[in-house]
């Protein structure tokens, strides 16, 4: 059963082509028939023109005189093998023929009466004789000098040979039309198959890919360098991307599970220790240490969960910004201050000198921007070894007064050239040996985009990493374009 593209092609394109071809074939058949019939008419007309010479200056009103003159013309007629000649008197009766046989009275010819009535002096007739033979005749009136009709001469030709030729040529035209239709159908089916088969294979592969079998893309053949070939490549690339994303997602789930398990284990362990200890037997130092671990790991859990929630909000477009004019320098200075103790504990030199100049304000969400600062500085400390250096600076230049830049540079392990273009992708994590969910940079980059800013990373393996945050300076009226508490 025909369906899909093949059915639409049969119903639409093929039906139009068939209609056009049939119209052309029918038109050609009518044209051929017209050409042959017109040829016979022209032959009869040219032969009848001889009468103007034979009966020119004819003055007699006598029927006998006309019959005698017509007999001489019939006897000397030199085309008897091609057509017959009949002499008709003024009453419309045949009185003489070139064959010697008078047609029966029930033989009806309308050309004589039409020639008398049409004013042209001649008329054609085309039909069948009583014998069943097709024929064409031309009757031309003979008039005397006074304009009175004294008789007529009829030329008659059998149309059987002409009709046979018309049928022959019509058959040839029909055969050619059938061949053309056959070629069109054959080429169309081959063309449709060249489209349908690859699409079916792609559809089957896509169904398998949807079920998780990403190797199905390897079975898609790229035979044609056209749109079908492009579609094959697109599906193959999509399958590879999905496979990579699926792997990244699985790794992400594994990492997040591990990240959640570690603080939960610590919290549970210390909680059980404190619960099982007899009242008053747990010394203050151990108690404070346990509570400190619980509080620290709880904060870590909260940070991970918030990061996941933020990522979910960004993915679904539900991130809410509480925009206001803020002092970007003060927010960044406070974030650096929060991490100084951690840097000291990890024996990392955190270098930052707050500029003395007054910077213009930035329009944005202070909590979200602080989240970005914290993520960037946290990554810098995380990937920098003991004795390493993390340097931060805030730059505002009169040469570029529309933006404020925050640059954080570390002397850590750096990022390879292969991983660098993808570090801001969701789920992607370049270094699997360091803790983290792998979505922090993706969230930070999206927050920067929501603030019409940018997050750029430059790095080299073994030479450290430099992160540049660029913020547009606040301009009067900007809060009208992006009101506070807007759901983005």
List, for residues 17-53, the tens digit of each pLDDT value.
888 999 999 999 999 999 999 999 998 888 888 776 6
Q: What is the pLDDT of residue 218?
A: 66
Supply 264's token pair: 């939960």
Q: What is the mean pLDDT of residues 3-26?
A: 80
Ranges 89-93, 120-124, 323-327, 368-372: which has the least confidence: 89-93
Residue 16 to residue 47: CA distance in whole angstroms: 46
Per-residue model confidence as pLDDT tens digits over 117-154: 888 888 999 988 888 889 999 998 887 777 777 788 88
Distances (CA, A) of 416 to 324, 363, 412, 461: 38, 35, 12, 5
Kindly give, in sequence order, each residue whose CB lies less than 8 Å from that of residue 456, ignoring residues fewer than 6 positions away: 467, 468, 470
Across the range 102-131, mean pLDDT stands at 84
Greatest mean pLDDT among 20-29, 100-109, 240-249 lies in: 20-29
For the CA atoms of 39, 41, 46, 51, what is the dihedral angle to 10 degrees? 160
pLDDT at 16: 86
- Helix, strand, coil distribution of the chain in percent, nearest 5: 55, 20, 30
Which residues does residue 52 pair with via DSSP β-bridges, in sequence order? none
The burial class, CB within 10 Å (0-12 / 13-18 / 19+), for 211 is exposed
Question: Which has the higher per-residue pLDDT, 436 or 77?
Answer: 77
- Between these two residues, 311 and 407, which has the higher pLDDT value? 407
- pLDDT at residue 246, as a whole number: 75
pLDDT computed for residue 485 by the predictor: 42
At a CB cut-off of 8 Å and minimum separation 6, what does 249 contact? 427
Pairing of strands 324-326, 320-321: unpaired
The answer on pLDDT for 432 being more than 90 is no
Distance from C-alpha of 103 to C-alpha of 95, rounded to nearest angstrom: 10
Task: With cut-offs at 50, 70 and 90, classify the pLDDT of residue 187.
Answer: confident
CA distance 112 to 155: 11
Angle of the 284-316 helix axis to the 440-450 helix axis, nearest 10 = 50
At residue 279, the pLDDT reads 54
- Is pLDDT larger for residue 240 or for residue 454? 454
Residues 6 or more apart in contact with residue 86 via CB below 8 angstroms: 94, 96, 97, 98, 103, 153, 154, 156
DSSP designation for 3: -
Contacts of 137 (CB under 8 A, 6+ apart): 44, 109, 111, 124, 125, 126, 154, 155, 156, 157
Residue 33: the pLDDT is 92
Considering the entire predicted model, what is its pTM? 0.49
Which carries the bigger pLDDT value, residue 192 or residue 82?
82
Q: Which residue has the tokens 């930052």?
A: 352
- Residue 488 above 70 pLDDT? no
What pLDDT is attached to residue 277? 66
Pairing of strands 464-472, 94-97: unpaired
Average pLDDT over all residues of the chain: 81
Query: Taking 50 as the threshold, does the pLDDT of residue 484 lie above it?
Result: no
- The per-residue pLDDT for 73 is 81
- Residue 366 reports pLDDT greater than 80: yes
Helix (H) / strand (E) element for 183: namely helix 160-210
Residue given tokens 């990403």 in the structure block: 214
Evaluate if residue 486 carries a pLDDT over 50.
Answer: no
Is the pLDDT assigned to residue 305 strictly greater than 70? yes
The span from the CA of 385 to the CA of 24, in Å, is 86
Alpha-carbon distances, residue 16 vs 178, 194, 443 (angstroms)? 15, 21, 57
Q: What is the dihedral of CA 361, 366, 369, 370, to 10 degrees?
A: 120
Q: Residue 349: pLDDT above 80?
A: yes
Per-residue confidence (pLDDT) for residue 179, from 0 to 100: 93
CA pseudo-torsion sign 297, 298, 300, 305: positive
The token pair that represents 178 in the structure block: 């059938």
Integer Cα distance of 107 and 331 in angstroms: 118
**Poorest-confidence range of 27-41, 75-89, 293-307, 398-412?**
293-307
Q: Which residues pair with 457 in a beta bridge?
A: 467
């Amino acid at each position: 059963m025909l369906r899909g593209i093949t059915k639409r092609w049969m119903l639409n394109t093929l039906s139009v082509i068939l209609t056009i071809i049939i119209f052309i074939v029918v038109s050609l058949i009518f044209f051929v028939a017209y050409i042959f019939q017109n040829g016979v008419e022209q032959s009869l007309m040219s032969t009848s023109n001889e009468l103007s010479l034979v009966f020119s200056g004819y003055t007699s009103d006598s029927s006998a005189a006309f019959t005698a003159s017509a007999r001489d013309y019939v006897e000397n007629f030199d085309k008897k093998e091609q057509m017959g000649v009949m002499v008709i008197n003024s009453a419309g009766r045949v009185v003489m023929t070139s064959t010697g046989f008078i047609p029966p009275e029930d033989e009806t010819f309308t050309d004589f009466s039409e020639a008398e009535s049409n004013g042209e002096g001649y008329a054609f007739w085309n039909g069948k004789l009583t014998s069943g033979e097709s024929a064409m005749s031309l009757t031309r009136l003979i008039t005397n000098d006074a304009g009175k009709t004294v008789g007529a001469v009829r030329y008659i030709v059998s149309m059987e040979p002409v009709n046979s030729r018309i049928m022959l040529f019509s058959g040839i035209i029909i055969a050619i039309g059938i061949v053309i239709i056959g070629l069109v159908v054959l080429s169309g089916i081959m063309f449709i198959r060249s489209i349908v088969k690859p699409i079916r294979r792609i559809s089957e592969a896509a169904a398998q890919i949807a079920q998780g079998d990403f190797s199905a893309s390897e079975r898609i053949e790229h035979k044609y360098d056209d749109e079908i070939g492009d579609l094959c490549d697109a599906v193959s690339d999509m399958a590879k991307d999905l496979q990579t994303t699926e792997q990244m997602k699985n790794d992400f789930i594994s990492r997040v599970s591990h990240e959640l398990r570690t603080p939960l284990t610590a919290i549970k362990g210390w909680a059980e220790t404190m619960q099982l200890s007899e009242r008053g037997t747990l010394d203050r130092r151990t108690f404070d240490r346990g509570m400190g671990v619980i509080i620290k790991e709880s904060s870590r859990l909260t940070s991970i969960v918030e990061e996941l929630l933020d990522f979910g909000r960004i993915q679904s477009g539900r991130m809410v910004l509480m925009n206001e004019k803020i002092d970007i320098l003060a927010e960044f200075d406070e974030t650096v201050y929060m991490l100084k103790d951690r840097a000291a504990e990890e024996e990392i030199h955190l270098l930052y000198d707050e500029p003395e100049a007054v910077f213009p304000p930035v329009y944005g969400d202070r909590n979200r921007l602080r989240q970005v600062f914290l993520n960037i500085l946290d990554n810098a400390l995380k990937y920098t070894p003991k004795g390493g250096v993390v340097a931060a600076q805030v730059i505002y230049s009169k040469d570029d007064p529309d933006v404020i830049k925050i640059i954080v540079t570390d002397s850590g392990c750096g990022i390879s050239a292969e991983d660098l273009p993808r570090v801001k992708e969701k789920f992607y994590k370049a270094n699997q040996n360091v803790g983290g969910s792998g979505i922090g940079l993706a969230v930070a980059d999206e927050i920067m985009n929501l603030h019409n800013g940018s997050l750029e990373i430059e790095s080299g393996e073994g030479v450290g990493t430099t992160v540049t945050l660029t913020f547009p300076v606040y301009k009067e009226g900007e809060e009208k374009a992006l009101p506070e508490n807007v759901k983005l």
